[in-house]
Amino acid sequence: MDSITSLILSHNPLGGSIPNSLGKLGQLQVLEMENDGLSGAIPAELGNANELTTILLARNKLSGAIPGNLLNLTGLTQFDVSNNNLSGMIPPHTAIIPASAFKNNSGLCGAPLPPCKHA
């Protein structure tokens, strides 16, 4: 399993949550799990897969915050979590990620989306 470089499981009726163990795949470069019916939080452990360049998790039922370490992977070039149920402030990041990658998550705020409202 350590030699897996791409995991493309999009458009399958998977359901359930994203396994924390995917973060142990040291050679993983591409993770595509779009439109799979996934729920739960995005595991922070994914940030341990340091070779990731592509993380596509759009059109699921994911909830909670985006782990900050994901957006700061040094080789990250593609990231999309649009059309989920994510919330909280988008973590500060250096990767160039368009606002469209975060759209349709009613609870998300912060750059590149509108600022968070403070009480």
Contact call for residues 95 and 72 (beta carbons, < 8 A): yes
Q: Pairing relation of β-strands 39-40 and 61-64?
A: parallel
Q: How confident is the model at residue 3 (pLDDT cuts 50, 70, 90)?
A: confident
Task: Report if residue 94 sits inside a domain.
Answer: yes
Q: Does residue 90 register a pLDDT over 70?
A: yes
* Residue 98, domain CATH: 3.80.10.10
With CA atoms as reference, report the closest residue to 95 among 72, 67, 116, 69: 72
77 within some domain: yes
Answer yes or no: is 117 within a domain: no
Total domains present in the chain:
1
pTM above 0.85, yes or no: yes
- Sorting pLDDT into bands at 50, 70 and 90, what band is 118? low
* Structure token pair of residue 89: 């402030």
34 occurs within a structural domain: yes
65 domain-assigned: yes
In this structure, is residue 56 part of a structural domain?
yes
In a domain? residue 58 = yes
Can you give the residue range of the structural domain that contains 96? 6-109
> Is the predicted pLDDT of residue 61 greater than 80, yes or no?
yes
The chain-wide mean pLDDT, for the chain, equals 93
